[in-house]
């Protein structure tokens, strides 16, 4: 539609639009018209009395859209290979307003923050992203902290071994390991200030809160032990000193830190899911515990012997040496002490020579016995628990195996089948235990925690797909629900998962096992085998299709499946996610191969996702390579155009193209945007205007077919139009600049850069000129006056669609509004606008040959010239006269009569159908089959002007008629009936009530698309009962119910009286209205008229019945 600001400007100047203006603009019918003005056009005689010949004086506001800058039929899309499921259309229409396209594009700007948030929420591996580490503290259970604690556990184990030895034998040597240990524990204090903690289930990441928590709990303990480490490192007092010995032994209190590391290692073993590893870790824990306790007691026992010798007492070392008659080294002392202590701990044979002789020895032995009970009890308990856990798992498997074996024996199956079933049952039980949590345990978790657990299990698999990866980044809550919606499936070997030709009902993600998929019709049944993660049947989420392949397992295999209904339930609460998936689905269905719906590569999915969210490229690569040529002025190049008689278009364009670098091959913006077809159309439009200015008929028609080439007379008429336009240097520069930048409005990257997601192409161009001139370098070379002229002409494109006028698609009301705008803006902008129209139409087929206009042949040139000729009278004639004079001229070219109003209806239909069916009487034949009421309804539609009477401007009406002609199941007569049904439905709704604006734009694109696809005439005739009308901005959109849109492929149709009752009543009313007209004409027949008494009696006898039915 037209922006409100443009209409406000038009309405404000509407009252003075009849005042004389400069640049030869004169109001139509004014007394002060210049003698050189074009002659005044009048409404054709056949239409006088039915249509007006004046403007509306009481129109103070205009609120109707004129459409886009290209014809409606050209913009009607043929549709994708597969029809999108109706539920997605319904969801999109219900949520489109709530989810704007701008919200979808925020993902590019928030990528870094979302990646960090995702790492914090879903990453189970800990320290994976250094960028996140710089911004937030380490997590207490992360991989980084675990590695740091493992290093600390090694230093603690070293201290447990070294410190008792040093204290027992008074060893004072300092080595490098002691220095490294001290450095580590100092650094550990710093790392602890950077480690988050969990408080009441919440991960605390605030550095101030982390510091307070550490100071309140472990800070003083760590500082005390680190101080003891430093003191013991530098103090030279012998360790035989009691105080120094205690100072050394205090350092062993750091063994409590091993508990945290042990718990983290145990969680790591559980995460790996290996039961045997848990048992091995438990055994290693017990062995290390027994060794450390034995080592401590051995050193203590040796220390007691050394201390007895030092004090002059007779200890166990002295007794041992006396009994054997030889001295013992430190190693021998430790070996015998450790053997004796281990024997007591493990109830093994001990050395009988080593006996308890003093009270201290007996007290030591008593302590050893109690510690033995504690250590052995704890170790046995841990081993028993681990073995019992394995036993429970094995018991479940054995129980299932036993029960299944009993059933198999009763069934009388063979040994091979029995073995295969049992192996599969064990595999299935193992897979379910790995993916499903015990209900008793899951009941202990909240729903959010349970979802996060499922996300952790399936995150790595689903994030490989572009769509689900985007959902995980942009809609984490929806993604957690979506992960839970996937259903795990387990398959036996050589089992058919789906078969070619059956209905595809769900998407499959292969997780494990070996698979084989056999081919499509085009591949003659060839197949391939694969392992690992593969996405299959994704199309089934968005459309109803049949399997084109057969999938069979080669081994036991697992997969995840998702149905369309489950996906819909998951995303129903998020409008933004619905819009994203809808756009992705439409792009995907347009890219896939019709012959292979089951295997869609991730590359195609990535292309569809990038297109759906407008993330094609991160920047304009072409802007870095463009350099503007300022050494030569455009005026000199323009002056030399006509003076040079060159033989080729390339030579003619050589001095012009440097001023429009966007169209440069290989380095221009179009090349950077990968829009080569649009670049070729742009070059064709530029060269066509240049050739017209140079009056080179030979170059213009060089590549045109001989039978359709523009004639000399048509070329002379075009030159006459060019002389009337009087193209100046400024106008030509502006026109060529417009033709150059026009294609940029079709780029999604440009729309993304400007944030212009819901604007028309013309409004996008206004944004480029006014706010982003760096996107269009050719506009930066324009002067201020030229830029203003460019903006005025673009506003004309926004307000009036000349292509729709040429097809008879709009009405005199649009011309009336355009006259007011031209009167306000001036004649120069009008002429620039018309010259731009010529260039645009010349470049339509430019992608086929950029050096010659293949589209502007004899047939299309006739239509264009006729339209331009009547627009020469824009300042002297009424809008009705201009409009119907053009229709009359087109009828004359098609050799159609224009003697009455009905002939003008046929003529306008001929324009809407581009002359098809007019010459052979097909249009008239379809018209004669309509009853009188239907003919009057269509006549009122096609002859109303929107100025003196309200009218409907039907966008895509040419596409609707073209589809009706091309579709053998529809035909023109059925199209007329459906069109009348639609008009009656609109008039009975709120849109048919009197409006302040007397012209209402109706978008019929959905109905035109339905007409092209339908394969049953009954389905088509019933469509009027399934239409709804949505008012958006300044136009009304006709929407075909998605349930009925899905019936386009049906070959038969059973009518639904409940749904189509209103439609049937309206059609009966029209039939009886025609009968009433016949009855009235009979009743008014004068005496002597040729009407038999029998006919009169028949008519009047049926009258009561007709009234009763109505």
Mean of pLDDT values over 273-297 = 76
DSSP output for 407-441: HHHHHT--HHHHHHHHHHHHHHHHHHHHHS--HHH
pLDDT of residue 48: 64
Residue from 646, 517, 668, 535 nearest 592 by CA: 535
Helix or strand holding residue 336 (H, E):
helix 330-346
Asked if the model's pLDDT at residue 845 lies above 80, the reply is yes
Please report, in angstroms and rounded to a whole number, the separation of the first and last CA atoms in the chain: 40
pLDDT band for 1088, please (50, 70, 90 cuts).
very low
State yes or no: pLDDT of 18 exceeds 50.
no
- Nearest CA to 511 out of 539, 553, 564 is that of 553
Confidence of residue 389 (pLDDT cuts 50, 70, 90): low
What confidence score (pLDDT) does residue 833 get? 92
Angle between helices 712-725 and 676-694 (to 10 degrees): 90
- CA–CA gap between residue 801 and residue 797 (Å, rounded): 6
**Stretch 393-401: mean pLDDT, rounded?**
66
Specify the pLDDT at position 717.
92
Q: Are 896 and 923 in contact (CB under 8 A)?
A: no
Whether the predicted pLDDT of 1033 surpasses 50 = yes
Q: What is the structure's pLDDT at 172? A: 67
Give the rounded percent of residues in the chain with a pLDDT score beyond 90: 8
In the sheet that 550-553 helps form, which strands lie side by side, from edge to edge? 496-498, 550-553, 514-518, 527-531
Query: How far is residue 393 from each of residues 265, 400, 435, 558, 715, measured CA to CA in Å?
Result: 22, 11, 15, 21, 91
pLDDT band of 355, cuts 50, 70, 90: low
971 vs 657, which has greater pLDDT? 971
Indicate if the pLDDT at residue 347 is higher than 80: no
Least confident among 29-43, 257-271, 1051-1065: 29-43
pLDDT at position 866, please? 92
SS (H, E, C) 854-891: CCCCHHHHHHHHHHHHHHCCCCCCCHHHHHHHHHHHHH
Of 586, 575, 749, 747, whose CA–CA distance to 104 is shortest?
Answer: 575
The whole-number pLDDT of residue 61 equals 32
Query: Could you tell me which residues are beta bridge partners of residue 558?
Result: 490, 512
Residues in the chain: 1110
Least confident range from 893-897, 997-1001, 1106-1110: namely 1106-1110
Mean pLDDT calculated for residue range 720-732:
90
pLDDT of residue 839: 92
Look at residue 442 in the predicted model and tell me its pLDDT. 61
| The pLDDT of residue 622 is above 70 | no
Whether 595 contacts 549, CB under 8 Å: no
Task: Give the tokens for residue 248.
Answer: 């050394």
For 621, the token pair is 């690569």
SS3 512: strand
Two tokens, residue 201: 């289930």
Contact 878, 53 (CB under 8 A): yes
The model's pLDDT over 794-840, given as tens digits with 9 standing for 90+, comes to 999 988 999 989 988 888 998 988 888 888 888 899 999 999 999 99
Closest CA to 728 of 693, 697, 699, 695: 693
Compute the distance between CA of residue 956 and CA of residue 967 in angstroms, rounded to an integer: 16
Cα 169 from Cα 240, distance rounded (Å) = 8
- The burial of 640, by beta-carbon neighbours within 10 Å (0-12 exposed, 13-18 middle, 19 or more buried), is given as exposed
DSSP letters spanning 137-181: PBPTTSHHHHHHHHHHHHHHHHHHHHHHHHHHHT-----HHHHHH
Task: Over range 601-619, report the average pLDDT.
Answer: 68
Q: Is residue 521 scored above 50 in pLDDT?
A: no
Q: Please give the Cα distance from 1005 to 959 (Å, whole number).
A: 8
In three-state form (DSSP H/G/I as H, E/B as E, the rest C), the secondary structure along 57-94 is: CCCCCCCCCCCCCCCHHHHCCCCCCCCCCHHHHHHHHH
Q: Residues 6 or more apart from 439 whose CB is under 8 A from it? A: none
Q: What is the pLDDT of residue 221?
A: 87
Nearest CA-CA partner of 1005 in 1038, 1029, 974: 1038
What residues have CB less than 8 Å from 881, skipping those under 6 apart?
28, 40, 41, 42, 43, 53, 873
Of 729-743, 771-785, 1011-1025, which gets the smallest average pLDDT?
771-785
Residue 932 contacts residue 902 (beta carbons within 8 Å): no
CA contacts within 13 A on the Cβ side of 1037: 12
Q: Which residues contact 259 (CB under 8 A, 6 or more apart)?
A: none
When mean pLDDT is compared across 867-876, 955-964, 997-1006, the lowest value belongs to: 997-1006
Surface-to-core class of residue 364, CB atoms within 10 Å of its CB (0-12 exposed, 13-18 middle, 19+ buried): middle
| Residue whose structure tokens are 């189970």 | 124
Residue 497's SS3 state is strand
Judge whether residue 634 has pLDDT over 80.
no
- Average of per-residue pLDDT across 395-415: 70
Is residue 625 scored above 60 in pLDDT? no
Instruction: Assess whether pLDDT exceeds 50 at residue 56.
Output: no
Three-class DSSP category at 451:
helix
Query: Is-contact 135 112, C-beta < 8 A?
Result: no
- Is the pLDDT score of 352 beyond 70? no
State residue 716's pLDDT score.
93
Q: Give the integer Cα–Cα distance in Å for 724 and 21.
A: 18
Mean pLDDT of 93-111: 51
Contacts of 729 (CB under 8 A, 6+ apart): 634, 635, 638, 639
The percent of residues in the chain predicted with pLDDT above 70, rounded, is: 71
| DSSP state letters, 83-133 | PPPHHHHHHHHHHTTTS-HHHHHHHHHTHHHHHHHHHHHH--SS---HHHH
Q: What is the pLDDT of residue 563?
A: 92
Question: What is the predicted pLDDT for the residue at 715?
Answer: 92
Confidence of residue 631 (pLDDT cuts 50, 70, 90): very low
pLDDT tens-place string over residues 914-969: 777 666 678 888 888 888 888 888 888 888 888 888 888 888 899 999 899 889 89
As a whole number, mean pLDDT of residues 539-556 equals 88
pLDDT of 393 reads 58
pLDDT at site 238: 65
Q: Is 917 left (phi over 0), alpha (psi -120 to 50) or beta?
A: left
Whose structure tokens read 């209190």? 253
Q: pTM above the 0.75 mark?
A: no
pLDDT score of 508 more than 90:
yes
Flag the least confident range among 229-243, 292-306, 460-474, 617-631: 617-631
CA distance 971 to 968: 6
pLDDT at 595: 57
Mean pLDDT of the chain: 75
Contact 511, 461 (CB under 8 A): yes
Cα–Cα distance between 323 and 330 in angstroms, integer?
18
pLDDT score of 865 more than 90: yes
**Three-state secondary-structure class, residue 788:** helix
Give the mean pLDDT of 977-992: 79
Taking a C-beta distance cutoff of 8 angstroms, is the pair 591, 604 a contact?
A: yes
Q: Which residues have CB under 8 Å from 698's CB, separation 6+?
A: none
Where helices occur in 894-970 by DSSP H, the ranges are 901-912, 922-928, 932-943, 957-966
Structure tokens, 971: 């035909």
Q: Are 659 and 637 in contact (CB under 8 A)?
A: yes
Q: Please list, residue by residue across 1034-1073, b when 16 or more beta carbons sit within 10 angstroms of its beta carbon and e when fewer do.
A: bbbbbbbbbebbbbbeeeebeeeeeebeebeebbeebbbb
Encoded tokens for 999: 């012209």
* CA atoms within a 13 Å half-sphere pointing along the CA-CB vector of 118: 21
Q: Above 50 in pLDDT, residue 64?
A: no
The first and second tokens of residue 1073, run together, are 């209205």
What's the whole-number mean pLDDT along residues 23-47?
53
């Amino acid at each position: 539609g037209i922006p409100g600001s443009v209409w406000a400007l038009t309405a404000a100047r509407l009252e003075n639009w009849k005042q004389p203006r400069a640049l030869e603009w004169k109001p139509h019918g004014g007394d002060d018209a210049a003698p050189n003005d074009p002659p005044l056009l009048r409404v054709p005689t056949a239409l006088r009395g039915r249509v007006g010949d004046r403007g509306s004086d009481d129109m103070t506001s205009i609120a109707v859209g004129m459409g886009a800058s290209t014809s409606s039929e050209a913009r009607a899309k043929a549709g994708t290979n597969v029809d999108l499921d109706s539920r997605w259309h319904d969801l999109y229409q219900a949520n489109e307003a709530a989810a704007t396209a701008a919200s979808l594009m925020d993902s590019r700007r928030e990528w870094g923050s979302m990646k960090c948030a995702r790492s914090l929420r879903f990453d189970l591996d800990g320290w994976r992203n250094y960028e996140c580490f710089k911004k937030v503290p380490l997590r207490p259970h992360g991989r980084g902290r675990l590695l740091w604690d493992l290093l600390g556990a090694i230093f603690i184990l070293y201290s447990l071994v070294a410190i008792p030895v040093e204290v027992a034998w008074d060893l004072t040597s300092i080595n490098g390991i002691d220095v490294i240990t001290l450095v580590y524990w100092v650094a550990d204090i710093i790392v602890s200030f950077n480690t988050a903690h969990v408080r009441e289930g919440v991960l605390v990441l605030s550095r101030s809160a982390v510091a307070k928590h550490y100071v309140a709990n472990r800070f003083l303990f760590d500082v005390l032990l680190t101080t003891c480490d430093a003191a013991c490192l530098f103090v030279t007092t012998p360790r035989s000193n009691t105080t120094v010995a205690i100072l050394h032994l205090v350092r062993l209190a750091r063994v409590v830190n091993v508990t945290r590391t042990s718990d983290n290692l145990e969680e790591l073993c559980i995460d790996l899911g290996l039961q045997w590893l848990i048992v091995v870790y438990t055994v290693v824990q017990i062995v290390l515990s027994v060794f450390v306790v034995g080592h401590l007691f051995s050193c203590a026992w040796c220390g007691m012997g050394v201390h007895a010798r030092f004090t002059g007492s007779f200890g166990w070392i002295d007794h041992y040496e006396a009994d054997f008659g030889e001295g013992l080294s430190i190693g021998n002392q430790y070996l015998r002490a450790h053997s004796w202590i281990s024997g007591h701990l493990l109830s093994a044979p001990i050395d009988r020579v080593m006996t308890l002789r003093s009270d201290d020895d007996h007290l030591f032995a008593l302590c050893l016995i109690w510690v033995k009970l504690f250590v052995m009890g704890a170790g046995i308990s841990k081993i028993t628990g681990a073995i019992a856990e394995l036993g429970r798992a094995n018991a479940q498997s054995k129980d299932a195996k036993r029960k299944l074996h009993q059933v198999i024996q009763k069934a009388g199956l063979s040994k091979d089948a029995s073995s295969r079933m049992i192996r599969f049952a064990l595999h299935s039980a193992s897979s379910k235990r790995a993916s499903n949590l015990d209900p008793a345990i899951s009941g202990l978790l909240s729903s959010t925690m349970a979802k996060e657990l499922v996300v952790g299990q399936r995150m790595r698999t689903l994030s490989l797909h572009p769509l689900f990866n985007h959902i995980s980044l942009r809609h984490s809550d929806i993604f957690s629900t979506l992960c839970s919606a996937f259903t795990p499936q387990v398959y036996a070997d050589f089992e058919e998962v789906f078969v070619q030709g059956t209905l595809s009902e769900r998407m499959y993600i292969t997780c494990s096992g070996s698979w084989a998929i056999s081919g499509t019709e085009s591949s003659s049944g060839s197949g391939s085998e694969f392992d690992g993660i593969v996405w299959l049947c994704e199309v089934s989420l968005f459309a109803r299709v049949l399997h084109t392949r057969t999938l069979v397992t080669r081994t036991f295999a697992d997969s995840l499946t998702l149905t369309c209904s489950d996906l819909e339930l998951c995303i129903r609460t998020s409008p933004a996610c619905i819009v994203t998936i809808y756009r992705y689905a439409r792009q995907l269905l347009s890219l896939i191969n019709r012959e292979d719906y089951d295997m869609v590569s991730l590359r195609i999915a990535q292309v569809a996702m990038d297109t759906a969210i407008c993330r094609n490229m991160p920047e304009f690569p072409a802007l870095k390579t463009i350099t503007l040529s300022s050494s030569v002025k455009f005026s000199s190049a323009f002056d030399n155009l006509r003076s040079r008689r060159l033989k080729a278009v390339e030579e003619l364009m050589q001095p012009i193209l440097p001023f429009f670098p966007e169209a440069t091959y290989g380095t221009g913006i179009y090349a950077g945007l990968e829009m080569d077809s649009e670049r070729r159309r742009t070059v064709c439009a530029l060269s066509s205007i240049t050739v017209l200015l140079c009056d080179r008929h030979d170059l213009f028609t060089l590549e045109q077919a001989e039978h359709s080439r523009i004639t000399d007379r048509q070329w002379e008429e075009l030159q006459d139009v060019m002389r009337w336009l009087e193209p100046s240097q400024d106008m030509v520069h502006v026109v060529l600049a417009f033709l150059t930048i026009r294609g940029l409005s079709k780029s999604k990257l440009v729309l993304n850069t400007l944030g212009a997601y819901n604007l028309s192409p013309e409004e996008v161009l206004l944004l480029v000129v006014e706010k982003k001139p760096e996107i269009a370098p050719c506009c930066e070379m324009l002067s201020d006056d030229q830029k203003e002229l460019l903006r005025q002409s673009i506003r004309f494109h926004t307000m009036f669609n000349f292509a729709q006028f040429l097809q008879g698609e709009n009405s005199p009301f649009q011309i009336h509004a355009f006259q007011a705008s031209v009167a306000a803006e001036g004649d120069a902008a009008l002429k620039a606008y018309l010259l731009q129209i010529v260039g645009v139409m010349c470049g339509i087929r430019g992608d086929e040959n950029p050096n010659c206009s293949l589209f502007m042949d004899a047939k299309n040139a006739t239509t264009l010239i006729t339209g331009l000729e009547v627009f020469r009278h824009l300042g002297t004639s009424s809008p009705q006269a201009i409009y119907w004079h053009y229709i009359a001229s087109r009828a004359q070219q098609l050799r159609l009569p224009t003697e009455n109003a009905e002939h003008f209806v046929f003529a306008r239909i001929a324009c809407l159908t581009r002359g098809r069916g007019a010459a052979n009487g097909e249009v008239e034949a379809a018209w004669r089959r309509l009853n009188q009421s239907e003919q009057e309804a269509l006549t009122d539609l096609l002859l109303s002007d929107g100025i003196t009477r309200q009218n409907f401007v039907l966008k895509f009406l040419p596409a609707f008629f073209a589809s009706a002609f091309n579709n053998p199941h529809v035909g023109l007569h059925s199209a007329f009936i459906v069109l009348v049904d639609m008009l009656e439905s609109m008039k009975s709704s709120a849109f048919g009530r009197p409006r302040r604006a007397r012209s209402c734009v109706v978008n019929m694109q959905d109905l035109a698309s339905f007409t092209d696809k339908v394969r049953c005439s009954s389905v088509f005739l019933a469509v009027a009962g399934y239409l709804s009308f949505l008012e958006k901005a300044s136009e009304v959109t006709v929407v075909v119910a998605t349930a009925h849109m899905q019936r386009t492929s049906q070959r038969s149709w059973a009518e639904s009286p409940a749904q189509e009752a209103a439609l049937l009543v309206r059609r009966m009313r029209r039939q009886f209205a025609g009968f009433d007209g016949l009855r009235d004409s009979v009743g008014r027949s004068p005496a002597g008229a040729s009407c038999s008494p029998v006919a009169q009696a028949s008519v009047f006898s049926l009258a009561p019945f007709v009234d009763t039915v109505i």
